[in-house]
């Protein structure tokens, strides 16, 4: 098969190697040419390409790419922790009684309110169903680093509508993520027809199933979609946030950064849509949503036991 094998990291010559893919399968096409099925390394895109359009990525280039991805992710995490600490101090001050703050103005120890009482965090919990086991592992690792309680399941997109209600009953999460791979099928022209997408109809059906479990968009916050997904249909099905308004690629970590903002925004506050999307890697061309309340609760005091 022209020197290509399942697991090879490749780029497409016709797209100037803009995205790095892993080959997931090789098969003969109707015209006898060998066709590779591809998934993005960090972009939630599935695609097919003839092997004569593929180029193996040089190991040195791959190392540089992975290093840059790690650097970008670390920078996002740094910004999140900085923002989270500011918000937490505000919440602690709000949790203190007015007269206590008047007695002890201006000097709050780290993690404590005006009484010196230390609080504890109760962020929203996540159920993440992902069509790609590699991406799921990346996301679960990031949830852990961000101190977000999460349960994850690797379930292919077409089966997600069948299992989502059962898993919601099992874990009763505050936030649900439904994602994996998607894409606008090459050769199609009508972006409004959901049949022209690889996985969008499955995300729509999974969101509908989740809304049969919990109708309220504040009680269960849903993110759904992947690269180039049918954004309008997914939102209409009942998702709070979805991809992809401009039918662009989204990054593997984008769902994590969306739900982190919601999980750590106070239940007293609506989540700023602009801030949520600004915290993602892809931005407004790839992610959109509707007004949603936060899922974070501050607890006081911390038990010594």
Q: Are residues 128 and 256 in the same domain?
A: yes
Cβ atoms of 148 and 189 closer than 8 Å: no
Radius of gyration of the chain, Cα coordinates, nearest whole angstrom? 22
Output the domain CATH number for residue 205: 3.40.50.2300
Q: Are residues 235 and 155 in the same domain?
A: yes
How confident is the model at residue 151, as a pLDDT? 98
Cβ atoms of 125 and 171 closer than 8 Å: yes
How confident is the model at residue 94, as a pLDDT? 63
Model confidence at 84: pLDDT above 80? no
b (16+ CB within 10 A) / e for 109-125: eeebbbbebbbeeebbb
Q: Are residues 178 and 254 in the same domain?
A: yes
Range of the domain at 45: 9-57
Percent of the chain with pLDDT over 70: 89
How many domains are there within the chain? 2
Distances from the Cα of 107 to the Cαs of 93, 102, 114, 126, in angstroms?
Answer: 10, 11, 7, 35
Cβ-based burial of 217 (10 A; exposed 0-12, middle 13-18, buried ≥19): middle
Eight-class DSSP state of 3:
T
Model confidence at 117: pLDDT above 70? no
What mean pLDDT comes out for the span 265-279? Answer: 88
pTM for this predicted structure: 0.80
> Is 92 inside any structural domain?
no
Label each residue of 150-212 as H, E or C.
EEEEECCHHHHHHHHHHHHHHHCCCEEEEECCECECCCCCCCCCHHHECCHHHHHHHHHHHHH
Model confidence at 110: pLDDT above 50? no
How confident is the model at residue 92, as a pLDDT? 64
Q: Are residues 52 and 123 in the same domain?
A: no
Model confidence at 276: pLDDT above 60? yes
Altogether, the residues listed in the chain come to a count of 305
> Which of 34-38, 74-78, 118-122 has the largest mean confidence?
34-38
Model confidence at 220: pLDDT above 80? yes
> Which of 64-68, 75-79, 95-99 has the largest mean confidence?
64-68
How confident is the model at residue 108, as a pLDDT? 34
> Is 103 inside any structural domain?
no
Model confidence at 128: pLDDT above 90? yes
How confident is the model at residue 95, as a pLDDT? 58
Q: Are residues 271 and 131 in the same domain?
A: yes
Tell me, rounded to whole angstroms, the distance of Cα 264 from its chain centroid: 15
What mean pLDDT comes out for the span 2-22? Answer: 88
Q: Are residues 218 and 137 in the same domain?
A: yes
How confident is the model at residue 294, as a pLDDT? 94
Q: Are residues 126 and 228 in the same domain?
A: yes
Q: Are residues 134 and 249 in the same domain?
A: yes
Contacts of residue 74, Cβ cutoff 8 Å, sequence gap at least 6: none
Model confidence at 63: pLDDT above 90? no
Instruction: Compute the mean pLDDT over every residue in the chain, rounded to the nearest whole number.
Output: 87
> Is 68 inside any structural domain?
no
Q: Are residues 143 and 280 in the same domain?
A: yes
Model confidence at 275: pLDDT above 90? no
Instruction: Please spell the DSSP secondary structure of 223-264, one letter per residue.
Output: EE--TT--HHHHHHHT-SEES-TT----BTTHHHHHHHHHHT
> Is 175 inside any structural domain?
yes
What mean pLDDT comes out for the span 2-12? Answer: 87
pLDDT digits (tens, 9 = 90+) for 140-184: 999 999 999 999 999 999 999 999 999 999 999 999 999 999 989
Q: Are residues 202 and 129 in the same domain?
A: yes
């Amino acid at each position: 098969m022209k020197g290509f094998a399942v697991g090879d990291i490749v780029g497409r010559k016709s797209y100037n190697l803009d995205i790095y893919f892993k080959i997931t399968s090789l098969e003969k096409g109707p015209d006898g040419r060998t066709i590779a099925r591809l998934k993005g390394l960090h972009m939630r895109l599935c695609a097919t390409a003839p092997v004569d359009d593929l180029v193996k990525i040089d190991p040195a280039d791959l190392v540089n790419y992975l290093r840059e991805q790690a650097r970008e992710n670390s920078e996002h995490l740094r910004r999140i922790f900085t923002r989270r600490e500011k918000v937490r101090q505000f919440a602690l001050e709000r949790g203190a009684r007015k007269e206590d703050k008047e007695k002890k103005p201006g000097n709050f120890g780290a993690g404590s309110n005006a009484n010196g009482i230390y609080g504890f965090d109760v962020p929203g919990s996540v159920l993440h169903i992902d069509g790609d086991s590699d991406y799921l592992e990346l996301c679960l690792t990031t949830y852990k680093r961000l101190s977000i309680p999460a349960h994850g399941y690797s379930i292919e997109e077409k089966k997600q509508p069948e299992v989502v209600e059962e898993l919601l009953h099992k874990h009763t999460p505050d936030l649900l993520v439904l994602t994996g791979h998607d894409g606008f099928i090459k050769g199609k022209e009508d972006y409004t027809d959901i049949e022209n997408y690889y996985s969008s109809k499955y995300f729509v059906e999974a969101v509908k199933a989740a809304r049969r479990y919990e109708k309220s968009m504040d009680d269960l916050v849903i993110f759904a979609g992947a690269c180039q997904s049918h954004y309008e249909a997914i939102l209409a099905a009942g998702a709070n946030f979805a991809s992809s308004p401009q039918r662009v690629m989204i990054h593997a970590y984008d769902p994590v950064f969306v739900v982190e903002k919601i999980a750590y925004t106070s239940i007293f506050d609506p989540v700023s849509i602009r801030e949520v999307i600004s915290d993602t890697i892809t931005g407004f061309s790839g992610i959109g949503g509707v007004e949603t309340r936060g899922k974070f609760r501050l607890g006081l005091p911390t038990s010594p036991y």
